[in-house]
Amino acid sequence: MSDTPSRPPREAFPLSDEAKGIAPALGRLKGKRFLVVGGGQRIVDAETDPVGNGRAMCRLFAREGAHVAVADMNGKAADQTVSDITSQGGKAFSVIADISKPAEIETMITEAIEKLGSLDGIVLNVGIGAGMHLEGSTPEIWDQVLTINLRGPMLVCRAALPKMSSGGAILFISSIASMKAGSRMPAYDASKAALAGLMRHVALEAEPRAIRANIIAPGLIDTPLGRLSTKGRPSRAKTNIPGGRQGTGWEIAHAALFLMSGEASYINGQILAVDAGLTAIR
């Protein structure tokens, strides 16, 4: 007989109304005008796909009173997000842009401001991963990943910051892969880690006009992209996550809502890991 005491079964973190995307609106962004870059969504299985981070943020921002410019390189995906918003009485429009192309970034910013009237906030929800391990990380893959994950956000901030309203906010969506090895993709990990340096510099340059910049670093989130990643790396699904479950796109969206709202008016230059404690206690 073993003398080791048995552990009680682990309880999963409960799915709150916020985590399910059904919490009532409180008008926390009333009158705000936001650009969300990467507001569309990939389709893995249209019948079963959960909401992605970008679409959840757009829908939640609009539900809380913001007018949202939904930018994505996939026009149909952006249009679907807009349709989800307007069908519920929200205000949104789509902008097609590929942030690997500098000219399209300039056009995106101009179009967003013309239609919004002003720009109070930007969310940069972009990122690709490629090149497994160092062996599979070619110079071409490295350049492609950093072009989209790092250069693109830099160029968006460079173009948009002078035109933003004072007192606004910029939010970068990173990953806990920026804090600990895990994706097995060196270019992805490196680009997301470098995003923190970019964010802090943006916060420094923006501070005289009271524009804040912060990062959300999601952990394992049940999104279409997350499910696609699991198909490529099945071990991802076996990760020992605190709380016993993956997060939802709505949980990322509510963290973003906080950081983009006046409730976070004294939070600047910070990284918020939304990962159930995976980086802290595992």
Q: Which sequence positions are flagged as catalytic?
A: 188
Closest CA to 30 of 83, 106, 95, 91: 91
Q: Which amino acid is at 52?
A: G
- Are 212 and 165 contacting, i.e. CB atoms less than 8 angstroms apart? no
Closest CA to 212 of 262, 178, 151, 174: 262
Length of the chain counted residue by residue = 282
Number of neighbours of residue 166 by Cβ within 10 angstroms? 10
Burial of 52 from C-beta contacts in 10 A (0-12 / 13-18 / 19+): buried
DSSP code for 207: G
Q: Which residue has the tokens 């923190």?
A: 196
Report in angstroms the alpha-carbon separations of 277 from 104, 168, 175, 219, 260: 38, 29, 13, 9, 22
Does an H or E element contain 221, and which? strand 221-222
Q: Are strands 169-173 and 121-124 parallel, antiparallel or unpaired?
A: parallel
Side-chain half-sphere CA neighbours of 24 within 13 A: 1
- Are 275 and 239 contacting, i.e. CB atoms less than 8 angstroms apart? no
Number of neighbours of residue 95 by Cβ within 10 angstroms? 23
